[in-house]
Structure 1
Amino acid sequence: MSSVKAAIFDVDKTIISIDSMFHFVDYGLRRYPALIYRLPAILWFTFLYKAGIVSVEKVKRAYFKGIERMSEEDLKHFFKTRLQTAIFAEANEEMHERKREGYIVLLVTASPHAYMKFFQEFACVDHVIGTQLVRRPNGGYTSIIDGSNCKGEEKVRRIMEYLKGQNQIIDYDQSCAYSDSTSDMPIMELVAKRYFINRRVPGAEELRWGKNE
Protein backbone atom coordinates (compact mmCIF):
# COMPACT_ATOMS: atom_id res chain seq x y z
CA MET A 1 0.00 0.00 0.00
CA SER A 2 1.15 3.54 -0.67
CA SER A 3 1.29 6.07 2.15
CA VAL A 4 -0.54 9.32 1.40
CA LYS A 5 -0.93 12.62 3.17
CA ALA A 6 -4.62 13.27 3.67
CA ALA A 7 -6.61 16.39 4.51
CA ILE A 8 -9.88 15.25 6.07
CA PHE A 9 -12.74 17.73 6.40
CA ASP A 10 -16.09 17.52 8.17
CA VAL A 11 -18.71 19.56 6.26
CA ASP A 12 -21.52 21.04 8.39
CA LYS A 13 -20.23 24.05 10.36
CA THR A 14 -16.72 23.23 9.08
CA ILE A 15 -16.73 23.78 5.32
CA ILE A 16 -20.18 25.38 5.30
CA SER A 17 -21.44 27.81 7.94
CA ILE A 18 -24.81 26.08 8.35
CA ASP A 19 -26.33 22.80 9.46
CA SER A 20 -27.51 21.30 6.19
CA MET A 21 -30.19 19.14 7.81
CA PHE A 22 -32.30 22.10 8.94
CA HIS A 23 -31.83 23.86 5.63
CA PHE A 24 -32.91 20.68 3.84
CA VAL A 25 -36.20 20.68 5.74
CA ASP A 26 -36.76 24.36 4.91
CA TYR A 27 -35.87 23.79 1.26
CA GLY A 28 -38.27 20.85 1.03
CA LEU A 29 -41.13 22.90 2.47
CA ARG A 30 -40.53 25.72 0.02
CA ARG A 31 -40.14 23.35 -2.93
CA TYR A 32 -43.07 21.13 -1.96
CA PRO A 33 -45.40 23.03 0.45
CA ALA A 34 -47.54 19.90 0.96
CA LEU A 35 -44.68 18.58 3.12
CA ILE A 36 -45.87 20.91 5.89
CA TYR A 37 -47.73 17.89 7.31
CA ARG A 38 -44.33 16.44 8.24
CA LEU A 39 -43.46 19.19 10.72
CA PRO A 40 -45.27 17.70 13.75
CA ALA A 41 -43.46 14.38 13.19
CA ILE A 42 -40.11 16.16 12.92
CA LEU A 43 -40.72 18.03 16.17
CA TRP A 44 -41.95 14.90 17.94
CA PHE A 45 -39.00 12.76 16.89
CA THR A 46 -36.59 15.57 17.78
CA PHE A 47 -38.08 15.61 21.30
CA LEU A 48 -37.83 11.82 21.57
CA TYR A 49 -34.23 11.87 20.38
CA LYS A 50 -33.20 14.56 22.86
CA ALA A 51 -34.91 12.54 25.59
CA GLY A 52 -32.85 9.51 24.60
CA ILE A 53 -35.87 7.47 23.55
CA VAL A 54 -35.22 7.02 19.82
CA SER A 55 -32.06 6.56 17.80
CA VAL A 56 -30.39 9.16 15.60
CA GLU A 57 -31.34 7.03 12.60
CA LYS A 58 -35.04 7.41 13.40
CA VAL A 59 -34.91 11.16 13.92
CA LYS A 60 -32.93 11.60 10.72
CA ARG A 61 -35.53 9.59 8.85
CA ALA A 62 -38.13 12.13 9.97
CA TYR A 63 -35.98 15.06 8.83
CA PHE A 64 -35.22 13.55 5.44
CA LYS A 65 -38.67 12.23 4.57
CA GLY A 66 -39.00 14.99 1.98
CA ILE A 67 -36.18 13.50 -0.09
CA GLU A 68 -38.62 10.86 -1.28
CA ARG A 69 -40.29 13.52 -3.43
CA MET A 70 -37.09 14.96 -4.81
CA SER A 71 -35.32 14.35 -8.09
CA GLU A 72 -31.58 14.59 -8.74
CA GLU A 73 -32.27 18.06 -10.13
CA ASP A 74 -33.90 19.07 -6.82
CA LEU A 75 -30.94 17.78 -4.83
CA LYS A 76 -28.42 19.56 -7.02
CA HIS A 77 -30.46 22.77 -6.82
CA PHE A 78 -30.47 22.45 -3.02
CA PHE A 79 -26.70 22.02 -3.05
CA LYS A 80 -26.14 24.98 -5.38
CA THR A 81 -28.51 27.40 -3.65
CA ARG A 82 -28.08 26.45 0.01
CA LEU A 83 -24.77 24.67 0.55
CA GLN A 84 -22.42 26.08 -2.08
CA THR A 85 -23.45 29.61 -1.13
CA ALA A 86 -22.66 28.88 2.55
CA ILE A 87 -19.05 27.74 2.08
CA PHE A 88 -16.59 29.57 4.31
CA ALA A 89 -14.16 31.48 2.10
CA GLU A 90 -11.35 30.26 4.37
CA ALA A 91 -12.47 26.63 3.96
CA ASN A 92 -12.54 26.96 0.20
CA GLU A 93 -9.01 28.34 0.18
CA GLU A 94 -7.79 25.69 2.64
CA MET A 95 -9.10 22.83 0.49
CA HIS A 96 -7.52 24.28 -2.64
CA GLU A 97 -4.23 24.91 -0.84
CA ARG A 98 -4.07 21.36 0.51
CA LYS A 99 -4.79 20.01 -2.96
CA ARG A 100 -1.98 22.15 -4.42
CA GLU A 101 0.34 20.75 -1.74
CA GLY A 102 -0.35 17.21 -2.88
CA TYR A 103 -2.84 16.06 -0.25
CA ILE A 104 -5.80 13.85 -1.01
CA VAL A 105 -8.80 15.89 0.13
CA LEU A 106 -11.57 13.85 1.77
CA LEU A 107 -14.92 15.24 2.90
CA VAL A 108 -16.57 13.05 5.56
CA THR A 109 -20.00 13.97 6.88
CA ALA A 110 -22.94 12.57 8.82
CA SER A 111 -25.26 14.33 6.37
CA PRO A 112 -26.66 12.39 3.41
CA HIS A 113 -24.33 11.57 0.56
CA ALA A 114 -27.39 12.11 -1.67
CA TYR A 115 -26.72 15.86 -1.69
CA MET A 116 -23.21 16.14 -0.26
CA LYS A 117 -21.90 14.15 -3.26
CA PHE A 118 -22.01 17.30 -5.38
CA PHE A 119 -18.93 18.58 -3.54
CA GLN A 120 -17.03 15.99 -5.55
CA GLU A 121 -17.52 18.16 -8.62
CA PHE A 122 -14.98 20.55 -7.07
CA ALA A 123 -11.50 20.08 -8.54
CA CYS A 124 -9.96 20.23 -5.05
CA VAL A 125 -12.06 17.37 -3.63
CA ASP A 126 -10.96 13.78 -4.18
CA HIS A 127 -13.82 11.94 -2.48
CA VAL A 128 -16.97 12.54 -0.44
CA ILE A 129 -18.17 10.14 2.25
CA GLY A 130 -21.60 10.61 3.82
CA THR A 131 -24.54 8.80 5.35
CA GLN A 132 -26.08 6.57 2.71
CA LEU A 133 -29.83 6.38 2.13
CA VAL A 134 -31.64 3.37 0.69
CA ARG A 135 -32.25 3.84 -3.03
CA ARG A 136 -35.56 3.18 -4.76
CA PRO A 137 -35.49 0.44 -7.41
CA ASN A 138 -36.61 2.92 -10.08
CA GLY A 139 -34.28 5.72 -8.94
CA GLY A 140 -34.41 8.34 -6.22
CA TYR A 141 -34.01 7.93 -2.48
CA THR A 142 -35.96 6.82 0.54
CA SER A 143 -35.37 8.45 3.93
CA ILE A 144 -34.12 5.16 5.41
CA ILE A 145 -30.45 5.06 6.36
CA ASP A 146 -28.55 2.33 4.54
CA GLY A 147 -26.12 0.92 7.07
CA SER A 148 -25.01 3.20 9.90
CA ASN A 149 -25.14 6.94 10.49
CA CYS A 150 -21.75 8.27 9.34
CA LYS A 151 -20.56 9.78 12.61
CA GLY A 152 -17.76 9.15 15.11
CA GLU A 153 -16.14 5.76 14.69
CA GLU A 154 -18.27 5.06 11.61
CA LYS A 155 -16.47 7.92 9.85
CA VAL A 156 -13.15 6.24 10.59
CA ARG A 157 -14.43 2.90 9.33
CA ARG A 158 -15.66 4.48 6.10
CA ILE A 159 -12.38 6.34 5.56
CA MET A 160 -10.40 3.14 6.06
CA GLU A 161 -12.71 1.27 3.70
CA TYR A 162 -12.24 3.89 0.99
CA LEU A 163 -8.45 4.00 1.37
CA LYS A 164 -8.20 0.22 1.32
CA GLY A 165 -10.01 0.26 -2.01
CA GLN A 166 -7.43 2.73 -3.28
CA ASN A 167 -4.55 0.63 -1.89
CA GLN A 168 -3.56 3.56 0.34
CA ILE A 169 -2.86 4.24 4.02
CA ILE A 170 -2.71 7.58 5.84
CA ASP A 171 0.69 9.12 6.56
CA TYR A 172 -0.06 10.11 10.17
CA ASP A 173 2.70 12.71 10.55
CA GLN A 174 1.91 14.51 7.28
CA SER A 175 -1.91 14.44 7.45
CA CYS A 176 -4.46 16.83 8.93
CA ALA A 177 -8.15 16.99 9.86
CA TYR A 178 -10.72 19.77 10.30
CA SER A 179 -13.97 19.78 12.27
CA ASP A 180 -16.22 21.95 14.42
CA SER A 181 -17.25 19.06 16.71
CA THR A 182 -15.53 16.91 19.30
CA SER A 183 -17.63 13.99 18.01
CA ASP A 184 -14.94 13.88 15.29
CA MET A 185 -12.14 13.08 17.75
CA PRO A 186 -11.85 9.54 16.29
CA ILE A 187 -10.92 11.16 12.97
CA MET A 188 -8.49 13.52 14.68
CA GLU A 189 -6.64 10.52 16.08
CA LEU A 190 -5.83 9.41 12.52
CA VAL A 191 -3.64 12.48 11.91
CA ALA A 192 -0.97 14.58 13.59
CA LYS A 193 -2.33 18.02 12.67
CA ARG A 194 -5.75 18.77 14.16
CA TYR A 195 -7.83 21.88 13.53
CA PHE A 196 -11.13 22.86 15.12
CA ILE A 197 -13.24 25.53 13.49
CA ASN A 198 -14.35 28.40 15.73
CA ARG A 199 -13.82 26.51 18.97
CA ARG A 200 -10.99 25.74 21.36
CA VAL A 201 -10.15 22.11 22.03
CA PRO A 202 -7.08 20.97 24.00
CA GLY A 203 -4.40 19.48 21.78
CA ALA A 204 -5.71 21.12 18.61
CA GLU A 205 -5.42 24.46 16.85
CA GLU A 206 -8.43 26.75 16.58
CA LEU A 207 -9.14 28.27 13.17
CA ARG A 208 -11.50 31.23 13.11
CA TRP A 209 -13.46 31.08 9.88
CA GLY A 210 -16.18 33.55 8.90
CA LYS A 211 -15.64 35.57 12.07
CA ASN A 212 -14.06 38.93 12.76
CA GLU A 213 -10.98 38.85 14.93
Structure 2
Amino acid sequence: MATQSQFPLSTRVIAAFDFDGTLTQRDTFVPFLAHLSWVRLAAALLRSSPALAGYALRLRSNEDAKMALCRHALRGRSRADLARVARAWVHTIPLRPALVRRLRWHQQRGDHCVLVSASPDVYLEDVARLLGFDDLICTRMQVDAQGRLTGDFDGHNCWGPEKIRRLVERFGAPDQYELYAYGDSRGDQWLIDAAQHAWYRGQAVKP
Protein backbone atom coordinates (compact mmCIF):
# COMPACT_ATOMS: atom_id res chain seq x y z
CA MET A 1 0.00 0.00 0.00
CA ALA A 2 1.17 3.49 -0.82
CA THR A 3 2.34 6.07 1.68
CA GLN A 4 1.78 9.81 1.35
CA SER A 5 5.14 10.30 -0.33
CA GLN A 6 4.37 7.49 -2.79
CA PHE A 7 0.98 8.84 -3.85
CA PRO A 8 1.23 9.32 -7.65
CA LEU A 9 0.77 12.96 -8.57
CA SER A 10 -0.76 11.89 -11.89
CA THR A 11 -3.65 10.19 -10.07
CA ARG A 12 -6.70 12.43 -10.31
CA VAL A 13 -9.30 10.12 -8.72
CA ILE A 14 -9.48 8.74 -5.17
CA ALA A 15 -12.17 6.23 -4.19
CA ALA A 16 -12.64 6.12 -0.40
CA PHE A 17 -14.58 3.15 0.99
CA ASP A 18 -15.85 2.70 4.53
CA PHE A 19 -15.71 -0.93 5.66
CA ASP A 20 -18.27 -2.00 8.28
CA GLY A 21 -21.78 -1.94 6.83
CA THR A 22 -20.55 -0.57 3.51
CA LEU A 23 -18.32 -3.27 2.05
CA THR A 24 -19.48 -5.75 4.69
CA GLN A 25 -22.91 -7.03 5.65
CA ARG A 26 -22.37 -6.29 9.36
CA ASP A 27 -20.04 -4.86 11.95
CA THR A 28 -16.71 -6.67 12.16
CA PHE A 29 -15.02 -5.35 15.32
CA VAL A 30 -17.11 -7.16 17.94
CA PRO A 31 -17.15 -10.41 15.90
CA PHE A 32 -13.34 -10.22 15.71
CA LEU A 33 -13.14 -9.81 19.49
CA ALA A 34 -15.55 -12.74 19.89
CA HIS A 35 -13.42 -14.85 17.56
CA LEU A 36 -10.41 -14.13 19.78
CA SER A 37 -12.27 -15.11 22.97
CA TRP A 38 -15.97 -15.06 23.83
CA VAL A 39 -15.07 -15.20 27.53
CA ARG A 40 -12.74 -12.21 27.37
CA LEU A 41 -15.23 -10.25 25.24
CA ALA A 42 -18.04 -10.87 27.74
CA ALA A 43 -15.81 -9.70 30.57
CA ALA A 44 -14.70 -6.66 28.57
CA LEU A 45 -18.28 -5.67 27.79
CA LEU A 46 -19.17 -5.91 31.47
CA ARG A 47 -16.17 -3.90 32.62
CA SER A 48 -16.62 -1.22 29.95
CA SER A 49 -20.40 -1.01 30.37
CA PRO A 50 -20.32 2.42 32.13
CA ALA A 51 -18.51 3.95 29.13
CA LEU A 52 -20.76 2.14 26.63
CA ALA A 53 -23.88 3.28 28.49
CA GLY A 54 -22.51 6.82 28.58
CA TYR A 55 -22.07 6.73 24.80
CA ALA A 56 -25.60 5.40 24.31
CA LEU A 57 -26.87 8.31 26.43
CA ARG A 58 -24.62 10.74 24.51
CA LEU A 59 -22.67 11.53 27.66
CA ARG A 60 -19.44 9.95 26.38
CA SER A 61 -17.82 10.17 22.96
CA ASN A 62 -17.58 7.34 20.44
CA GLU A 63 -13.82 7.36 20.99
CA ASP A 64 -14.05 7.09 24.79
CA ALA A 65 -16.46 4.16 24.65
CA LYS A 66 -14.48 2.28 22.03
CA MET A 67 -11.18 2.79 23.83
CA ALA A 68 -12.68 1.50 27.07
CA LEU A 69 -13.74 -1.70 25.29
CA CYS A 70 -10.33 -2.04 23.61
CA ARG A 71 -8.48 -1.65 26.90
CA HIS A 72 -10.40 -4.49 28.50
CA ALA A 73 -10.52 -6.74 25.42
CA LEU A 74 -7.10 -6.25 23.82
CA ARG A 75 -4.61 -4.98 26.40
CA GLY A 76 -1.64 -7.30 26.64
CA ARG A 77 -2.40 -9.21 23.44
CA SER A 78 0.58 -9.90 21.18
CA ARG A 79 0.39 -7.87 17.96
CA ALA A 80 2.08 -10.72 16.08
CA ASP A 81 -0.42 -13.28 17.43
CA LEU A 82 -3.35 -11.06 16.44
CA ALA A 83 -1.91 -10.70 12.94
CA ARG A 84 -1.75 -14.49 12.55
CA VAL A 85 -5.37 -14.85 13.68
CA ALA A 86 -6.50 -12.00 11.42
CA ARG A 87 -4.92 -13.46 8.28
CA ALA A 88 -7.19 -16.50 8.50
CA TRP A 89 -10.25 -14.75 9.93
CA VAL A 90 -10.68 -11.95 7.35
CA HIS A 91 -11.57 -14.49 4.66
CA THR A 92 -14.76 -15.29 6.62
CA ILE A 93 -16.12 -11.72 6.65
CA PRO A 94 -19.40 -11.53 4.66
CA LEU A 95 -19.08 -8.83 1.98
CA ARG A 96 -21.65 -6.95 -0.08
CA PRO A 97 -21.22 -8.11 -3.71
CA ALA A 98 -22.53 -4.86 -5.19
CA LEU A 99 -19.97 -2.75 -3.31
CA VAL A 100 -17.16 -5.17 -4.10
CA ARG A 101 -18.09 -4.82 -7.78
CA ARG A 102 -17.95 -1.04 -7.35
CA LEU A 103 -14.46 -1.38 -5.84
CA ARG A 104 -13.37 -3.55 -8.77
CA TRP A 105 -14.74 -0.92 -11.18
CA HIS A 106 -12.51 1.71 -9.60
CA GLN A 107 -9.53 -0.63 -9.62
CA GLN A 108 -10.01 -1.46 -13.29
CA ARG A 109 -10.06 2.27 -14.08
CA GLY A 110 -6.79 2.73 -12.23
CA ASP A 111 -8.29 4.93 -9.49
CA HIS A 112 -6.46 5.19 -6.15
CA CYS A 113 -8.60 3.08 -3.79
CA VAL A 114 -8.46 3.79 -0.06
CA LEU A 115 -10.08 1.87 2.79
CA VAL A 116 -11.16 4.43 5.42
CA SER A 117 -12.52 2.84 8.58
CA ALA A 118 -12.89 3.21 12.34
CA SER A 119 -12.08 -0.49 12.72
CA PRO A 120 -8.55 -1.28 13.95
CA ASP A 121 -5.41 -1.97 11.99
CA VAL A 122 -4.94 -5.34 13.72
CA TYR A 123 -7.14 -6.94 11.06
CA LEU A 124 -7.82 -4.19 8.53
CA GLU A 125 -4.27 -4.41 7.21
CA ASP A 126 -5.11 -7.93 6.04
CA VAL A 127 -8.50 -6.82 4.70
CA ALA A 128 -6.84 -4.08 2.65
CA ARG A 129 -4.36 -6.55 1.17
CA LEU A 130 -7.07 -9.13 0.49
CA LEU A 131 -9.27 -6.67 -1.39
CA GLY A 132 -6.39 -4.98 -3.20
CA PHE A 133 -6.65 -1.47 -1.73
CA ASP A 134 -3.85 0.97 -2.50
CA ASP A 135 -4.05 2.63 0.91
CA LEU A 136 -5.45 2.12 4.40
CA ILE A 137 -6.64 4.82 6.80
CA CYS A 138 -8.01 3.38 10.04
CA THR A 139 -7.85 3.35 13.83
CA ARG A 140 -4.34 2.39 14.85
CA MET A 141 -3.70 0.40 18.03
CA GLN A 142 -0.80 1.38 20.24
CA VAL A 143 1.88 -1.28 20.72
CA ASP A 144 4.46 -1.32 23.53
CA ALA A 145 8.17 -2.17 23.33
CA GLN A 146 7.38 -5.88 23.80
CA GLY A 147 5.05 -5.93 20.79
CA ARG A 148 1.88 -6.08 22.90
CA LEU A 149 -1.20 -3.89 22.61
CA THR A 150 -1.65 -1.33 25.37
CA GLY A 151 -5.38 -1.10 24.66
CA ASP A 152 -5.03 2.59 23.75
CA PHE A 153 -5.17 4.13 20.29
CA ASP A 154 -2.13 5.44 18.45
CA GLY A 155 -3.81 8.70 17.47
CA HIS A 156 -7.58 9.16 17.34
CA ASN A 157 -10.42 6.78 16.54
CA CYS A 158 -10.86 7.07 12.76
CA TRP A 159 -14.54 8.04 12.87
CA GLY A 160 -16.55 11.03 11.66
CA PRO A 161 -14.46 14.16 11.07
CA GLU A 162 -11.27 12.20 11.73
CA LYS A 163 -11.84 10.28 8.49
CA ILE A 164 -11.75 13.35 6.28
CA ARG A 165 -8.97 14.94 8.37
CA ARG A 166 -6.76 11.90 7.83
CA LEU A 167 -7.63 11.75 4.11
CA VAL A 168 -6.68 15.42 3.69
CA GLU A 169 -3.52 14.90 5.73
CA ARG A 170 -2.41 12.16 3.37
CA PHE A 171 -3.61 13.38 -0.02
CA GLY A 172 -4.45 17.06 0.32
CA ALA A 173 -7.82 18.80 0.04
CA PRO A 174 -10.50 17.13 -2.13
CA ASP A 175 -10.47 20.05 -4.56
CA GLN A 176 -7.04 18.78 -5.69
CA TYR A 177 -8.51 15.52 -7.04
CA GLU A 178 -11.83 13.83 -7.82
CA LEU A 179 -13.16 12.09 -4.71
CA TYR A 180 -15.64 9.20 -4.66
CA ALA A 181 -16.90 8.27 -1.18
CA TYR A 182 -18.84 5.20 -0.02
CA GLY A 183 -20.41 4.98 3.44
CA ASP A 184 -23.38 3.76 5.43
CA SER A 185 -23.53 5.58 8.77
CA ARG A 186 -23.33 8.91 10.57
CA GLY A 187 -19.61 8.42 10.99
CA ASP A 188 -19.17 8.63 7.21
CA GLN A 189 -21.11 11.87 6.75
CA TRP A 190 -18.07 14.17 6.75
CA LEU A 191 -16.46 12.08 4.03
CA ILE A 192 -19.69 12.00 2.02
CA ASP A 193 -20.04 15.79 2.31
CA ALA A 194 -16.49 16.38 1.07
CA ALA A 195 -16.80 14.11 -2.00
CA GLN A 196 -17.83 15.14 -5.50
CA HIS A 197 -19.42 11.70 -5.98
CA ALA A 198 -20.93 9.72 -3.10
CA TRP A 199 -22.91 6.56 -2.33
CA TYR A 200 -24.71 6.15 0.98
CA ARG A 201 -26.08 2.72 1.91
CA GLY A 202 -25.64 1.58 -1.66
CA GLN A 203 -27.52 4.50 -3.20
CA ALA A 204 -25.96 7.33 -5.19
CA VAL A 205 -26.47 10.62 -3.36
CA LYS A 206 -23.94 12.51 -5.50
CA PRO A 207 -23.76 10.78 -8.89
Q: TM-score surpassing 0.5?
A: yes
Aligned Cα root-mean-square deviation (Å) = 2.6
Query: What aligned pairs does 1:44-55 form with structure 2 within 5 A after superposition?
Result: 44-55=50-61
* TM-score w.r.t. length of structure 2: 0.80
- Quick check: 1:130 aligned with 2:141? no
Tell me which residue corresponds to 2:25: 17
Gap regions ≥5 residues in structure 1: 206-213
Query: What aligned pairs does 1:144-183 form with structure 2 within 5 A after superposition?
Result: 144-164=152-172, 170-172=176-178, 175-183=179-187
Query: CA offsets per residue over residues 60-116 of structure 1, 9 Å max, x none?
Result: 123223223244343442464256532222222221221111110001011112221
Deviates more, 1:107-116 or 1:19-28: 19-28
Q: Shift in Å at residue 178 of structure 1?
A: 0.6
Contact conserved, 2:33 with 2:73, CA < 8 A, in 1? Answer: yes
Q: Shift in Å at residue 127 of structure 1?
A: 0.6
1: distance between equivalents of 2:180 and 2:13? 8
1:27 corresponds, among 35, 53, 72, to 35
Contact conserved, 1:61 with 1:144, CA < 8 A, in 2? Answer: yes
Query: CA offsets per residue over residues 96-142 of structure 1, 9 Å max, x none?
Result: 22111111000101111222111231363101110122211121322
Aligned length: 196
Query: CA offsets per residue over residues 124-168 of structure 1, 9 Å max, x none?
Result: 31011101222111213221122222112211111112225xxx9
Gap regions ≥5 residues in structure 2: 1-8
1: distance between equivalents of 2:40 and 2:161? 37
Go from structure 1 to structure 2 and tell me whether the alpha carbon gap of 1:137 and 1:190 turns closer, same or farther (over 3 Å shift): same
> Equivalent residue of 1:122, what SS?
helix
> Equivalent residue of 2:126, what SS?
helix
Deviates more, 1:78-87 or 1:181-190: 78-87
2: distance between equivalents of 1:169 and 1:121? 28
* TM-score w.r.t. length of structure 1: 0.78
Go from structure 1 to structure 2 and tell me whether the alpha carbon gap of 1:90 and 1:170 turns closer, same or farther (over 3 Å shift): farther
- Quick check: 1:195 aligned with 2:199? yes
Tell me which residue corresponds to 1:112: 120
